[in-house]
A and B are shown apart, each in its own frame.
Chain A
């Protein structure tokens, strides 16, 4: 690896000061940054290691929201009863990341900042209407996750800003959530396509909330707005989910790449959408209001 200046801030104030002064690249779990540095894709002269900022590592509920720090690892998400109960699809997605070695180091903040179209944590977070909270020396702002991603590898993070934490809505009523990742194998696979769904059944048996999101089938992880329009206010059924699956083709913009062809992705997204919607529906039926 190339030689770099290295800073290890011990507080948020120290972090913003170093960030302002150097404009260095942040590294947390290192599972994305280090391989890219080794390949020469990143050549930053300065690295700011935030892995030891303990107050960016927590999971809690605040005012009807779930909140977790940017340095929360996938392993911590999987092990958290709160995440398992209230953000089930996120826990499922975290469990599909890489392998145990990756999940003990990799962080949600890193996954989002890396802004891969295939980021596993993004589709479930999009279905939970997540906000990304960005801090800098002087400002703090919350950005909806759907606006946070700007393009492949690109976010709306400005110079001097870092991800401090993420908040999501909490599920309520008769809800169900599911995530499915299609890869060439289960371990160490980058997804061909991933889908997350969140549904809420009203007392009248109709869908009072329906949110879908996709990974690896557009320049950024995306919400399935067209599919959601088909679902909202309707009585769930296999036919409805087939219809929503077809509508989701208007939400995605897949390409063919080393993992799968354009045609394959177009074929598989409606199938996966239908599958996660069925799972989420079955869960919501079982839950008491």
Chain B
């Protein structure tokens, strides 16, 4: 076993973690940093997207990132989205539209949506579907998520 020291910037806070190199970013975020909004649904296969975080600006499955691969990176999780107790416009839109049911896929879906909207504030239906293709949801049927992302884009463009 190899123990390594890793420096992470998570939700704008610096962390130094000393841990086994055989662990994933997902495990460290949940178990060491207590960020349990990062979900594990498919058991580390990279199939479901529930563990999606934004790493240096791109959405990634944190279950497929070895902790050593995250050295020096900037990580955003769902816990970092709300500012001063104000939910992020995407979070508000998901609630308003009802794009949540069991809630398990929601953090990952919101982060994948955020990664999309940071690059494209006027996405088409197809672009949203593509951005969420790696985030499995078995409750909502996606149509409400689609509406929510459009609504969030509108708010982020024009304010509310």
Contacts and interface: CB of A to CB of B under 8 A. Distances in A.
Interface of A: 1-8, 27, 29-31, 34-35, 38-39, 47, 49, 51-52, 75, 98-102, 104-105, 186-188
Task: Report, nearest first, the 7 A-B pairs whose CB atoms are least far apart.
Answer: A99-B134, A187-B133, A6-B21, A6-B2, A104-B58, A3-B1, A99-B133
Contacts of B24: 1, 34
A35 B45 CA distance: 5
Contacts of A49: 66, 68-69
A31 B44 CA distance: 10
23 contacts: A1-B22, A4-B21, A4-B22, A5-B2, A6-B21, A6-B68, A30-B66, A31-B46, A31-B61, A34-B46, A34-B63, A38-B44, A39-B45, A47-B21, A99-B134, A99-B135, A100-B58, A100-B130, A100-B133, A101-B52, A101-B59, A101-B60, A105-B65
A100 B68 contact: no
Interface of B: 1-2, 4, 20-24, 43-47, 49, 52, 58-61, 63-66, 68-69, 71, 112, 115, 130-131, 133-135
A53 to B, nearest CB: 12
B133 A38 contact: no
Contacts of A8: 68, 71
Contact of A101 (B44, B71, B134): B134
Contact of B71 (A2, A38, A52): A52
Contacts of A187: 130, 133-134
Nearest to A2: B22
B133 A188 contact: yes
A3 B112 CA distance: 31
Nearest to A99: B134
B29 to A, nearest CB: 15
Contacts of B46: 31, 34-35, 98, 101-102
Contacts of B2: 4-7
B60 A105 contact: yes
A30 B133 contact: no
A140 B24 CA distance: 33
Nearest to B4: A6
Given A38-B43, A105-B60, A187-B134, 5 more contacts: A4-B21, A34-B24, A34-B46, A35-B64, A99-B135
Contact of B112 (A29, A35, A39, A100): A100
Contacts of B21: 4, 6, 47
A199 to B, nearest CB: 28
Given A100-B59, A100-B112, A34 B134 contact: no
Given A1-B24, A4-B22, A6-B2, A104 B60 contact: yes
A3 B134 contact: no
B22 A104 contact: no
Contacts of A98: 46, 134
Contacts of A75: 58
A34 B66 CA distance: 8
Contacts of A51: 69
Nearest to A187: B133
Q: Which of B46, B61, B115 has the most CB of A within 10 A?
A: B46
A47 B58 CA distance: 25
B64 A100 contact: no
A141 to B, nearest CB: 29
A99 B49 contact: yes
Q: Which of B60, B64, B69 has the most CB of A within 10 A?
A: B64
A52 B71 CA distance: 9
Nearest to B20: A3
A100 B115 contact: yes
Nearest to A73: B58
Given A100-B115, A104-B59, A3 B65 contact: no
A77 to B, nearest CB: 14
